[in-house]
Amino acid sequence: MKIQKKYNLTEREVDRIIQMAWEDRTTFDAIKANFGVPEGDVIKLMRQEMKLSSWKMWRQRVQNRATKHAKKRNFGMGNFKCSRQKSISNNKISKR
């Protein structure tokens, strides 16, 4: 059964799940909280939706990666922000 039908996901939601799964710092727990799709089904969805070579590259990168699992993270929850990243307010980059 296709994961999309199992969880009644729209194409836009599938695209967002793939985007979140591709990001290194977005946990599988965050995907489950937002869309109700557990890690195993996210992996299946990625395999269904991606080219085999892309899926293999992604799978190798995220396998046993601490940042993809909330319990293995060694930094606090929330968004990571680089100290050199500029602040954004009112959709304009503000000056330091």
Write the pLDDT tens digit of every residue in 55-92. 999 888 888 776 676 665 555 555 555 555 555 554 44
Residue 41: give the domain boundaries: 3-93
Q: Name the H helices within 1-96.
A: 3-6, 11-22, 28-35, 39-49, 52-62
- pLDDT digits over 13-58, tens only? 999 999 999 888 888 888 999 999 999 999 999 999 999 999 999 8
Q: How far is CA 69 from CA 6, 21, 42, 73, 94, in A?
A: 23, 11, 13, 7, 33
Domain count, the chain: 1
Q: What is the pLDDT of residue 62?
A: 84
- Burial of 68 by CB count in 10 Å (0-12 exposed, 13-18 middle, 19+ buried)? buried
Give the three-class secondary structure for 94.
Answer: coil
Q: How high is the pLDDT of residue 40?
A: 92
Q: What is the pLDDT of residue 92?
A: 47
pTM beyond 0.85, yes or no: no
